[in-house]
Amino acid sequence: MTTKPSVLITVDIIKADLTQPNELAVVETRLRNDTQIGILINNAGASLSGQFIDQATDDIELLVTLNTTALVRLASAVAPRRTQTGQGAIINISSAVTLMPEFGLSVYGATKAFEAARQAMQPGFAQIQAAPRYLGPK
């Protein structure tokens, strides 16, 4: 009989508004200093509905900050250690909307395309595309 080794996984959730520099800095510091963190899953993101001309500029700025700036800062906080040790992973959740601008999510799609392009330039990084799926009545 073969037994599998037991693996203990700890998950910590840090509640933070990543559009706010002081809260983003708390998460960055944790990622930079906590050597027990092996995997970063960048899943934070938001979208704005409607056409670009109907979206408030302040809302667009928050969306870009969350979907691009925060993503880059968090990956940058943990990437040097990941590269140095050769262990761990950074997984960024992207979106298939980058391939479908006709959905009318222009700014959201652009931020997710930025994410996908940035990952394509980095060997050893994973990209996951979230494909939209209609779940309406059958």
In whole angstroms, what is the distance from residue 78 CA to residue 55 CA? 33
What is the average per-residue pLDDT within 36-55?
A: 83
Write down the mean pLDDT value for the chain. Answer: 78
Name the percent of the chain lying above pLDDT 90.
22
What is the average per-residue pLDDT within 88-113?
A: 69
Structure tokens at 129: 């595309």
Q: At what angle do helices 21-33 and 71-85 cross, to 10 degrees?
A: 10
- The 10s digit of each residue's pLDDT in 5-20 is 777 788 888 899 999 9
- What is residue 104's DSSP assignment? S
SS3 of 84, please? helix
What is the average per-residue pLDDT within 52-77?
A: 90
